[in-house]
Amino acid sequence: MLTINKLIPQGRGLASVLIKRAATVALDWDVRQKSRFDATDSQGRALGIFLPRGTVVRGGDILVAEDGSLIQAVAAPQAVLVITPCTEHGSAFDLTRAAYHLGNRHVQIELKPDHLKIEPDHVLADMLRAMHLTVTEQTVAFEPEGGAYAAGGHSHGHGHGHAHDHGHESHAHSNPAHGEPGHVHGPGCGHDHSHDHGHSHAPAAQAVSRGKPIGIAIKGETKPHVHGPGCGHDH
């Protein structure tokens, strides 16, 4: 058995010629949402797939075997319900309503501009038909929508840098009369902008000058007085 423990989402970074030469393995959705399973590829090799927990295999993903060989995952055709608006009584908006109600029931849905796909469920099929939607059974590939925070490299990150730099060099008086421009301070505005603060504007943050070193005498330990000849006391 050939062990596989690495997945490259959609073969990103691989040369197209390598992907074309790769063997394939057809997997339905029930298998592809598991992180550990066995399968057989197009070359008849037995595969043991051991991916990180939570990994979902999508059609077009590349599995990397322990020997370095590449196997492309293919979404195998499976039974699904295809949901479309009723051509006589419905509208395209009915698909939005259907997706809303199915989502409330935590149903996995493949979203397309003109139809939805779900796994077979006769109760849901009856509900959808009652909403004037057309429901048909088909055998096709099934790729349900991933969660907003889906793992496994399939989330779509839209990093939008919305930093707004509002540099205001001048300011206007607040609450001008409606339709009148606010007053902007500047040359020719007629205002006296002299500053009488009663203190000098010395340059800020000047480096502190170093003065001369100050010698500090350290008093040593005082020895106890011993009385005796030459001590200077009158005994």
Per-residue pLDDT of the chain (235 residues; tens, 9 = 90+): 999 999 999 999 999 999 999 999 999 999 999 999 999 999 999 999 999 999 999 999 999 999 999 999 999 999 999 999 998 887 889 999 999 999 999 999 999 999 999 999 999 999 999 999 999 999 999 999 987 655 444 544 344 444 444 444 444 444 444 444 455 555 555 555 544 444 444 444 444 445 555 555 555 555 555 555 665 656 5
Residue 8 belongs to domain spanning: 2-75
Number of domains into which the chain is organized: 2
Instruction: Give pLDDT tens digits for 111-132.
Output: 999 999 999 999 999 999 999 9
Residue 43 belongs to some domain of the structure? yes
123, 140, 157 - which closes a domain: 140
Mark whether 85 and 60 lie in a shared domain: no
Beta 70-75 vs 23-27: how paired, if at all? parallel
Mark whether 70 and 6 lie in a shared domain: yes
Mark whether 67 and 108 lie in a shared domain: no
The whole-angstrom separation of Cα 190 and Cα 193 is 9
The whole-angstrom separation of Cα 183 and Cα 176 is 8
Q: What is the CATH number of the domain that holds 92?
A: 3.30.70.790
Mark whether 71 and 101 lie in a shared domain: no
Instruction: Give pLDDT tens digits for 153-162.
Output: 454 434 444 4
In the sheet that holds 36-40, the strands lie side by side as 23-27, 70-75, 62-65, 2-8, 46-50, 36-40
Q: Which of 49, 44, 42, 101 is nearest to 74 (CA)?
A: 42
Residue 148 belongs to some domain of the structure? no
3 state SS of 94: helix
Q: Which of 71, 70, 89 is nearest to 26 (CA)?
A: 71
Which residues are bridge partners to 7 per DSSP?
63
87, 121, 140 - which closes a domain: 140
Mark whether 60 and 101 lie in a shared domain: no
What size, in residues, is the chain?
235
Residue 136 belongs to some domain of the structure? yes
What is the pLDDT, as a whole number, of residue 221?
54
Q: What is the CATH number of the domain that holds 48?
A: 2.60.260.20
Residue 81, CA distances (Å) to 3, 36, 58 in order: 34, 27, 19
140, 159, 184 - which closes a domain: 140
